[in-house]
Amino acid sequence: MKIRAGYEISYECPQPTPMILMLSVHPSRAADLATPDRLQLSPVVPAEPYRDGFGNICHVVHAPAGKITLSTDFLINDPGAPDDVAPEAKQHALEKLPVETLVYLLGSRYCETDRFIQLAWSKFGTITKGWPLVQAICDYVHERMQFGYAHASPTKTAWQAHEERRGVCRDFAHLAITLCRCMNVPSRYCTGYLGDIGVPPDPEPMDFSAWFEVYLGDRWYTFDARHNIPRIGRILMARGRDATDVAISTSFGPCTLAGFKVMTDEVPPAAATAMR
């Protein structure tokens, strides 16, 4: 299947403002692109690309005073299969984990493992390690939390989300990640596109979404505590410890979000051919 995806995001800057943007499709999906994923800026200003320490594609721009609009529109090939499910996937003992996964066991800005250790072990300590444990954590987060865009806060931590019992997809991901780390399962935050493909349309439309990955067996697996079912059509943009590492934009000065549109839709074969 092919998916058409893209965005148009605008900011108002009262003064020239440096920004780091993390809006590109992740390098792991580059071979799937049917048309280029090109960052367009209006007004046109230079955008210097680089790879961050997690392998994500970033751009440095110097936004002028006034309004700047960021956009892209591309086609990407997708297998059209739901997220992998592997109930037999095993959990490694700490000393057997690949060293590059160990950073995803530590606390981070939004994932305060120190506050959750006792709660996590009291709730999940007797559950079979590996896939059943991670699924139990997802079930707990999914059942405890209420989703709503009105509950979004850029400073909300996993602990605050747990106590408030509400949030957006990033809060579901942060809470599940924190509990997994407490139970010695390496867990990393993911952000990208997720449309309503293969599911009934959501009354609160999807655009950019957050989910997470855990290391079990010999690979990373996708989990999504907000939806809590395998989904079709994820397009990864970035991975990191938590939302701090994968913010779509980081401004080094005051600026205000002035417009935000995201699309991610399955394209009929005939239409996809015409768009090439």
DSSP H or E segment with residue 113: helix 113-124
Q: What percent of the chain has pLDDT over 70?
A: 96
The pLDDT of residue 273 is above 80: no
Q: Where are the domains of the chain?
A: 2-79+248-275, 94-232
Q: Which residues of 179-196 are buried (b: 16+ CB within 10 A; e: fewer)?
A: bbbbbebbbbbbbbbbbb
Spatial contact of 272 and 12, defined as CB atoms under 8 Å apart: no
Spatial contact of 177 and 109, defined as CB atoms under 8 Å apart: no
What value does the mean pLDDT take over residues 124-138?
A: 98
94-232 maps to CATH 3.10.620.30: yes
Q: Whole-angstrom Cα distance, residue 137 to residue 119?
A: 12
Mean predicted lDDT score pLDDT of the chain: 95
- pTM of the predicted model, to two decimals? 0.94
What is the chain's Cα-based Rg? 19
What value does the mean pLDDT take over residues 91-96?
A: 95
The pLDDT of residue 275 is above 60: no
| Strand residue runs (E) in 109-255 | 146-147, 166-167, 187-193, 208-216, 219-223, 235-240, 249-251
DSSP H or E segment with residue 275: helix 269-275
Give Cα 67 distance to the centre of its chain: 26
pLDDT tens digits for range 144-181 = 999 998 899 999 999 999 999 999 999 999 999 999 99
pLDDT tens digits for range 171-222 = 999 999 999 999 999 999 999 999 999 998 877 666 899 999 999 999 999 9
Spatial contact of 158 and 174, defined as CB atoms under 8 Å apart: yes
CATH architecture entry for 2-79+248-275:
Sandwich (2.60)
Residue 37: count other Cβ atoms within 10 Å of its Cβ. 20
The pLDDT value recorded for residue 201 is 80
